[in-house]
Amino acid sequence: MSLLIRALAKSGLLRDRLDQHLVRASMVLIFVLFGYQKWFEYEAQGLIPFIRNGPLTSWMYPVFGLHGASWFLGVSEWLTAALLVWGFRDPRAGVVGAILAVGTFVTTVTIIPFMPDGWDAAAGFPAMTGNVPFLMKDVVLLAASLYLLKQDVAWVVGSPETGASHAGDRRAVEVAS
């Protein structure tokens, strides 16, 4: 096992914030693609059970209407993606993007308990059904958003925990022999 750990440490995979860049890039991809969908009729219709049953989203239809709510979400997701992209260069923009991402996924995770027919009637909890399995991915995306937020804040303030600073210092991984 220690041979594997040493090989990983020497590979470069654990240096220079590669993990942070991969998480950021994957989050950008998710926000771009999900934001793109919001401009189409099929998505506006598909969002109805999510928006209608969400404790933090149910206000959207009375305020924006069916398509306006979908477009609002699309713009929000593209803005989040843009800030996360900007965060590759400026961690302050990354902080704002990560805050928006955290807000997005807190909002979607709160829908889970309120989704009708979300748990199999015969098997009960935790046998998911309907839209609940789709929403469960947002628990991981919330964790990824919190990770980016932590990393960007640490980069801005120069936290010794990550070894990063606003000047772009990097910490090499230390592995005991």
pLDDT tens readout for residues 96-132: 999 999 999 999 999 999 999 888 888 877 889 999 9
DSSP three-state, residue 14: coil
> Measured between alpha carbons, how far is 60 from 84 in angstroms, rounded to an integer?
25
The pLDDT, as a whole number, for residue 159 is 54
Both tokens of 94, joined, read: 């990354």
Whether the CB-CB separation of 111 and 57 falls below 8 Å is answered with yes
The pTM for the full model equals 0.83
> Measured between alpha carbons, how far is 159 from 60 in angstroms, rounded to an integer?
39
Confidence of residue 6 (pLDDT cuts 50, 70, 90): confident
In the predicted structure, residue 167 carries a pLDDT above the cut 60: no
Query: Over the stretch 12-52, which tens digit does the pLDDT of each residue have?
Result: 776 777 889 999 999 999 999 999 999 999 999 999 999 99
In the chain, DSSP assigns E strands to none
The pLDDT, as a whole number, for residue 93 is 97
